[in-house]
């Protein structure tokens, strides 16, 4: 199967798109065709989660054998604490929580990044490659990416995060591995600044080829496709137990997670979505007014969503413009030059709505959910919880463990959540460098280090 850049370039295979990460023209890869899964739902529903992932990913790749996909998936999920890997918790008949935080770093990013890390290891082993991974994180991506390639040979990883703008435990997860191939960078700026540097590094062809630059952020199509699997898993579980239409309510920052689910609706999955933001509500304003405008990110109780430039929105634009890559290029050029661009709201998918939750209300939602259901939400999931829709089977995506944000939880409900994997990092020495949000200084550090 071929992969199309949102701006026109073509990758001939999944592995080519995977290895490039960002397309040479600055666009994001999407499959040129999407399989219709409708006739396969019954057979897919019988698979374990690793088997489902292996089967689903094989639809988009014809270079890795199905047997190797099964091995990759099995290895990727062997360290998950939940017996079934994914936990679908029923609170009421029409309200479920899809717990995505039982992986090694207690966040939903583990589901895709464990696959990505093992794919890079596969390429090292089978094709003799060497990689320099560079990523940006607003909290959870960084630790999940690091733990996906921890101590793997011929893979170095540099993770940038905004100084002082992620949760303390998130920073410790990133900076305390002391692994030979892990290099955390504390950036004096925002996540958007760090993400912009990553994109510029990929756009610098000479530099990216010199170090064989690789991507772990959701610009990498493997991240998007691997995340689709848990939506499919939940849908297959619920379609046999409910007559209500299914709606996924998704905490949203960079738009990658919700895009992964939405793509399945183009493969036959009948579901709708709520993109739930915090006070960094650029996406909510976009869907309600049609104006996409650069803003300064505000610090909130849900730091992983403190994002104002959702890079994966470009993939949705591609579909909104019905594959007109020249129109995508013009639109992104206008946005980058002017800082804003207007859309016809009639173009937006009818099965995606948006909502926002104030910083103050995050605390109130955690309180009310605990009182009503005896269930503890992390602050990001709390941005989604108020936006369920009567008449639907609502599935709230729980994207991180409450134990990663103990101070916020304790402030809300006087409970201090813990997890042994987090407690173990508290007294470890940190290893990091601090750099300004300057691409040349970042490039210099990477070159000197490798």
Place of tokens 């009503």: 372
**CB-side exposure of 166: number of CA atoms within 13 Å?**
29
The pLDDT, as a whole number, for residue 220 is 93
Helix, coil or strand: residue 169: helix
pLDDT at 65: 96
The pLDDT of residue 308: 84
**267 contacts 374 by C-beta, under 8 angstroms:** no
**Tens of pLDDT along 64-75?**
999 999 999 999
The one catalytic residue among 20, 109, 165, 404: 109
CA distances for 420 relative to 127, 133, 293, 304, 403, angstroms:
38, 28, 41, 22, 10
Among 43, 68, 41, residue whose Cα is nearest residue 57: 68
Query: What does the pLDDT read at residue 302?
Result: 95
| CA count, 13 A, side-chain hemisphere, 200 | 14
Q: What would the mean pLDDT of 325-343 be, rounded to a whole number?
A: 95
pLDDT bucket at 422, cuts 50 / 70 / 90:
very high
DSSP per residue over 27-58, as a string?
-BEEESS----GGGHHHHTTS-HHHHHHHHHH
Q: Look at residue 403 and tell me whether its pLDDT is greater than 90.
A: yes
Question: Does the pLDDT of residue 372 top 90, yes or no?
Answer: yes
* Runs of H (alpha helix) within 59-108: 66-76
Q: For the chain, list the domains and their CATH numbers.
A: 87-107+222-421 (3.40.50.1100)
Give pLDDT tens digits for 262-292: 999 999 999 999 999 999 999 999 999 999 9
Residue 219, both tokens: 């610009």
Tokens found for residue 267: 């493969």
- DSSP H or E segment with residue 390: none
List pLDDT tens digits, range 164-214: 999 999 999 999 998 999 999 999 999 989 999 998 999 899 999 999 999
Decide if 221 contacts 314 (C-beta within 8 A): no
Residue 218 corresponds to which tokens in the numbers above?
A: 């959701």
DSSP-assigned beta bridge partners for residue 443: none
Q: At what angle do helices 140-148 and 168-175 cross, to 10 degrees?
A: 20
Residue 367 pLDDT exceeds 90: yes
Tokens in use for 83? Answer: 């017996």
Give the mean model confidence (pLDDT) for residues 145-151. 95
Per the prediction, the chain carries an average pLDDT of 95
pLDDT tens figures, 222-248:
999 999 999 999 999 999 999 999 999
Greatest Cα-to-Cα distance within the chain, rounded to the nearest angstrom: 59
Reported as a pLDDT band with limits 50, 70 and 90, residue 162 is very high
Checking if the pLDDT of 376 tops 90, the result is yes
pLDDT class for 217, splitting at 50, 70, 90?
confident
Is the predicted pLDDT of residue 138 greater than 90, yes or no?
Answer: no
- pLDDT digit string (tens) for 289-330? 999 998 888 999 999 898 888 889 999 999 999 999 999 999
**Is 109 one of the catalytic residues?**
yes
Q: What is the pLDDT of residue 328?
A: 97
What is the pLDDT confidence band of residue 107, given thresholds at 50, 70 and 90?
very high
The proportion of the chain whose per-residue pLDDT surpasses 90, expressed as a percent, equals 91
């Amino acid at each position: 199967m071929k992969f199309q850049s949102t701006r026109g370039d073509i990758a001939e295979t999944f592995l080519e798109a995977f290895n490039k990460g960002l397309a040479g023209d600055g666009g994001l890869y999407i499959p040129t065709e999407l399989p219709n899964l409708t006739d396969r739902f019954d057979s897919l529903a019988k698979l374990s989660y690793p088997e489902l992932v292996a089967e689903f990913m094989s639809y988009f790749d014809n270079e890795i054998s199905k047997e190797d996909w099964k091995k990759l998936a099995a290895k990727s999920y062997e360290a998950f604490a939940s017996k079934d890997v994914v936990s679908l918790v029923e609170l009421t008949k029409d309200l479920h929580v899809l717990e995505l935080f039982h992986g090694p770093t207690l966040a939903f990013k583990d589901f895709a990044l464990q696959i990505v890390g093992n794919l890079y290891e596969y390429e090292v082993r089978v094709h003799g490659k060497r990689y320099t991974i560079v990523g940006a994180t607003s909290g959870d991506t960084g630790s999940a990416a690091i733990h996906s390639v921890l101590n793997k040979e011929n893979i170095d990883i540099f993770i940038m995060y905004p100084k002082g703008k992620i949760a303390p435990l998130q920073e410790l997860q990133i900076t305390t591995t002391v692994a030979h191939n892990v290099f955390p960078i504390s950036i004096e700026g925002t996540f958007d600044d760090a993400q912009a540097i990553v994109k510029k590094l990929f756009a610098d062809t000479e530099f990216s080829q010199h170090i064989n630059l690789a991507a772990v952020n959701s610009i990498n199509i493997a991240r998007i496709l691997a995340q689709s699997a848990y939506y499919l898993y939940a849908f297959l579980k619920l379609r046999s137990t409910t007559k209500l239409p299914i709606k996924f309510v998704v905490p949203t920052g960079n738009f990658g997670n919700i895009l992964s689910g939405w793509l399945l609706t183009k493969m036959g999955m009948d579901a709708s979505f709520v993109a739930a933001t915090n006070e960094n509500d650029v996406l909510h304003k976009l869907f309600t007014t049609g104006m996409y405008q650069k803003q300064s990110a505000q610090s909130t109780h849900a730091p992983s969503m403190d994002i104002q430039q959702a890079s994966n929105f470009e993939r949705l634009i591609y579909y909104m413009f019905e594959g007109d890559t020249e129109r995508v290029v013009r639109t992104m050029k206008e946005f980058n030059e002017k800082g804003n661009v207007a859309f016809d709201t009639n173009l937006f998918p009818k099965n995606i709505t948006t909502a926002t939750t104030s910083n103050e209300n995050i605390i109130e939602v955690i309180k009310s959910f605990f009182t009503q259901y005896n269930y503890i939400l992390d602050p990001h999931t709390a941005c989604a919880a108020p936006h369920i829709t009567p008449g639907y089977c609502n599935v709230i995506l729980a994207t991180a463990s409450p134990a990663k944000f103990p101070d916020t939880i304790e402030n809300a409900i006087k409970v201090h959540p813990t997890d042994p994997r987090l407690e173990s990092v508290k007294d470890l020495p940190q290893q990091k460098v601090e750099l300004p949000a300057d691409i040349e200084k970042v490039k210099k550090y990477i070159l000197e280090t490798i």
